[in-house]
Every structure is written in structure tokens, then in C-alpha cells.
Amino acid sequence: MQALDLYATIEEYLDFEDEVHHLYKTIGHTVLSKNPKTLIDIGCGQGEFCHIMDLNGIKTLGVDLSAKQIDIAVSKGTNAKCIDVKDVEEKFDCATATFDVINYLPKKYIKKFLQSCYDVLQDKGNFIFDINSLYGFENVAQGTLNIDLEDKFIAIDANFEEGTLYTDITLFDKEVKGQKYTKLSGTIEQYCYEKSELSLLLEEVGFEVENIINFNLHSSEEYDKYIYVCKKG
């Protein structure tokens, strides 16, 4: 199983719901202030942000590279496809990427990815997303978490080394019959982007960075995230 699909399998047990809704509220208000009629949510996961935007009368499409995430999103009624954003042909008034998606992009692909986010927008369309700050990687994301359930055991171990967060996930899942467990494991990598580095890349592909909002997701001390508000120039 791909690491992204493994993450999709365990996401419901992570208990991030309240914090993520706090993030959706800020990103959602920013999106609504721009009055878009159409929105593409890139890395839409299980479709929750699309669902909130649908309720606000916006026509949405969610895209994600994990087939498992898309299966779950579609089963919940989201208009979603397992397709790379570079292959999307429609144009949208707004693009979003919520809850760490941009951090999943390796340095060698980030510029092409941002270019695809630019290309999928109408002229003057907005691109709104969050990224983790260095403080967030060093002080919030690192650590271990074990989740012990009746029919599952999940072990997560995250280490930040030289700009990359390596999150090792191991899932022991009890077979339907008998006492045996199957073991699945994988590593998700997330990459840290400095504010200045990312702003430069965005400007190089043609975006105007309108605003960068400091945000506290898990921490009440320093900012662990930034929300970027960009416009297609």
C-alpha cells in the first residue's frame, strides 16, 4: 500500500477534527470574501473542505493523488477525482490546498506543481493554502503517537531532519476471523519551505502574494502555520 493510502486508512483515528475545522474556518472565510463561483480543492483528502464550500453555494471539485482518499470522499458525496492537478482541464475561480498539502511537495517538483495551480485558475483567480512553519515542524509535528484500538494498533513516529519531516506509520490490523494481525507500514515525507523561498517561487510562476496570515493550529505559542492568499496576476 502506498504511504498516502496508508495515511488515508488511519486518518479517522488521529483525532485532529477540532483543530482542522479551526483551520477550515479561517481559510473558508478568506475564500468566501473573494466570492468565487467555482473552486478546486487540491489534495482534497476525504472531501470535508469541499463539503463546507458546497454548503456555501460554491461548485467544487476535489482532486487527490490517493485513490483511497478519493474513494472515501466520493462515498461521502464529494465531487472528487484521483487525478494530478496538472491534468485538470477546467478553470476555476479559486484553488485551495488545505492542511499541509503543499508540504508534501518535494523541492524538485514544487515549482511545476505551483505552475499547475496557476494554470488551473481563471485570470485573477485566487490560490489559498496553508503550510507548516519551521517552528511547527520542529516543535509540534515531531514525536511519537500510539493508538490502541480493539481491532487495530497504530504507531506513528515523526522525526524532522535537515528540512524534512519523516513520519513512519505502522498499522497492525486484526483479521476479521482469528487472532492474527496484518502489518502495513510506510513513511510520509513533508518538506519545510521558508516564507521567502515560497513567496519567490509563487511570484516566479506569476502569482501575486496578497497576504500571509500567521496561524496557530496545534500550538498557542509561536505560529505553527502560515496561510497564503495569492492571486493569479
CB of 116 to ligand SAM, least distance (A): 9
DSSP string for the chain: --HHHHHHHHGGGS--HHHHHHHHHHHHHHHHHT--SEEEEET-TTSHHHHHHHHTT-EEEEE-S-HHHHHHHHHTT--EE---GGG--S-EEEEEE-SSGGGGS-HHHHHHHHHHHHHTEEEEEEEEEEEE-HHIIIIII-EEEEEE-SSEEEEEEEEEETTEEEEEEEEEEE-SSSS-EEEEEEEEEEE---HHHHHHHHHHHTEEEEEEEEE-SS-SSS--EEEEEEEE-
C-alpha cell at 144: 511519537
Residue 10 interacting with ligand SAM (CB under 6 A): no
Residue nearest to ligand SAM according to CB distances in the complex: 45
Q: Which is nearer to ligand SAM, 2 or 159 (CB)?
A: 2
CB of 174 to ligand SAM, least distance (A): 25
Q: Of these, 32, 34, 54, 65, which contacts ligand SAM (CB under 6 A)?
A: 65
Q: Of 72-80, 101-109, 192-200, 209-217, which part binds ligand SAM (CB under 6 A)?
A: 101-109
- Residues between 67 and 96 that touch ligand SAM (CB under 6 A): 69
Q: Which is nearer to ligand SAM, 66 or 133 (CB)?
A: 66
Residue 215 interacting with ligand SAM (CB under 6 A): no
CA distance 217 to 63: 24
Site string for ligand SAM, 121-140 (x = CB under 6 A): --------------------
CB of 101 to ligand SAM, least distance (A): 4
Q: Which is nearer to ligand SAM, 81 or 174 (CB)?
A: 81
Q: Return residues touching ligand SAM (CB under 6 A).
A: 4, 20, 42-45, 48-49, 64-66, 69, 98-101, 104-105
